[in-house]
Amino acid sequence: MQKAVKCEAEEIQERMRFVKNNYKSLTVKRLKILWGVNSLNVYQFLRQYDLPWLPIDELTIKQRGRI
């Protein structure tokens, strides 16, 4: 059980470092695909760990009918 918690904490730290180091080239959709989660999970992760906000892909905006 402790090992699982430690692995989860390490994964969170790794994801945080990845976002901080690459946020200029990342989008929500790319992280969503990379991490295998939905967009809401990406936004919650960014907000929870006070990480920079990422742009939404142009394709995602088109799908929502904003363009």
Single pTM value for the model: 0.67
Average pLDDT over residues 19-47: 88
Q: Please tell me the total count of domains within the chain.
A: 1
Average pLDDT over residues 36-50: 89
pLDDT of 5: 64
pLDDT of 17: 92
Average pLDDT taken over every residue of the chain: 80
Domain of 38? 2-63
Q: Which residue has the tokens 């939905």?
A: 38
pLDDT of 67: 43
pLDDT of 63: 55
pLDDT of 54: 79
- Token duo for residue 4: 């699982």
Burial of 54 (0-12, 13-18, 19+ CB in 10 A): buried
